[in-house]
């Protein structure tokens, strides 16, 4: 069974801090999505990666295929980054849909 | 380009009824995936349609079904509603099939009483 585990479940930090959210996944998952969900439910896709590192603005995502581990980093965090961050694994080459982590609830305090 | 739209945004039904939710993908996208989100189970994959064909289905009972039309719009149907079907139902569209970059709609919040 494909599994994705995220940590921490909850994270509160001060504005400006460097944030790291971790995701571990099982054999059979070939790529990962990082998603952001704001209150109210809307989900935005941040990254999809199967190797290496991607950067967009203050967000950086990395993946280590050998260790089956991915991280999402936020530099110079801001209160508007407060959201739930979810990692989701792609398995079966995409034929099995996405397997989701439980999410990390991030609060950035001013 | 207009984003993914879902209708209705909110819905209240009673046990035993059935419901149909609609999703209009981004123009040019041929893949539509459906997801259920509950506080207890989190996000779970329901099914994916591509070019009017169901490609795959998650671990849900047969009460959950869907279809896709020639214009790529998709509907999902839940029959004989149960209290546990109360959830946020999200659809996402992508240009390619198979869990590629996806664009999510705002969701339909279904409450079953």
CB of A39 within 8 Å of any CB in chain B?
no
Segment B29-38, tens digit of pLDDT? 999 999 999 9
Quick check: B98 pLDDT over 80?
A: no
Quick check: B1 pLDDT over 70?
A: no
Segment B39-82, tens digit of pLDDT? 989 999 999 999 999 998 999 999 999 999 999 999 999 999 99
DSSP helix/strand/coil, B57: strand
User: B46, B58 in Cβ contact below 8 A?
Assistant: yes
Nearest CB among A43, A86, A98 relative to B99 is that of A98
Half-sphere exposure of B44 (CA within 13 A, CB side): 15
DSSP chain A: ---EEEE-SEEEEETT--EEEEEEE-TTEEEEEEEEE-TTS-EEEEEEESSEEEEETTEEEEEETTTTEEEEEESS--GGG-EEEEEEEEEGGGTT-EEE---EEEEEE-
Give B97's pLDDT tier (boundaries 50, 70, 90).
Answer: confident
Q: What b/e string do you get for A59-69 counting C-beta neighbours within 10 Å, with b at 16 or more?
A: bbbbbeeeebe
Nearest CB among A45, A86, A94 relative to B103 is that of A45
Percent of chain B with pLDDT over 90: 84
Give B99's pLDDT tier (boundaries 50, 70, 90).
Answer: low
- Mean pLDDT along residues B83-87: 97
Of B28 and A93, the structure prediction assigns the larger pLDDT to: B28
Number of residue pairs across A and B with CB atoms under 8 Å? 61
Contacts of B61 (CB under 8 A, 6+ apart): none
CB of B88 within 8 Å of any CB in chain A?
yes
> What is the sign, positive or negative, of the torsion defined by CA atoms of B36, B41, B42, B43?
negative
**Nearest CA-CA distance, residue B18 and chain A, Å:** 23
Q: What b/e string do you get for B65-103 counting C-beta neighbours within 10 Å, with b at 16 or more?
A: bbebeeebbbbbebeebeeebbbbbbbbbbeebbbeebb
pLDDT score at B101:
84
Residue whose pair of structure tokens reads 């792609």 in the numeric block: A90
Given a cut of 50, the residues of chain A with pLDDT beneath it are none
């Amino acid at each position: 069974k494909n599994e994705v585990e995220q940590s921490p479940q909850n994270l509160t930090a001060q504005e400006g801090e460097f944030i790291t959210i971790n995701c571990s996944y099982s054999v059979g998952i070939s790529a990962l999505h990082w998603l952001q969900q704001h209150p109210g439910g809307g989900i935005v896709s941040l990254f999809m990666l199967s190797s290496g590192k991607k950067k967009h603005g203050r967000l950086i995502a990395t993946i280590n295929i050998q260790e089956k581990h991915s991280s999402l980093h936020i530099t110079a965090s801001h209160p508007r980054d407060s959201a739930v961050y979810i990692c989701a694994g792609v398995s079966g080459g995409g034929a099995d849909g996405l397997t989701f982590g439980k999410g990390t609830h991030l609060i950035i305090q001013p | 380009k207009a984003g993914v739209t879902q209708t209705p945004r909110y819905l209240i039904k009673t046990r035993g009824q059935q419901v149909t939710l609609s999703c209009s993908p981004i123009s040019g996208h041929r893949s539509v995936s459906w997801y259920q989100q509950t506080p207890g189970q989190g996000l779970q994959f329901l099914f994916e349609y591509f070019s009017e064909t169901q490609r795959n289905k998650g671990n849900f009972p047969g009460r959950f079904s869907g279809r896709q039309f020639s214009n790529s719009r998709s509907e999902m149907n839940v029959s004989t509603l149960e209290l546990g079907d109360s959830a946020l139902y999200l659809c996402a569209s992508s240009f390619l099939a198979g869990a590629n970059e996806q664009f999510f709609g705002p969701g339909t919040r279904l409450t079953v009483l």
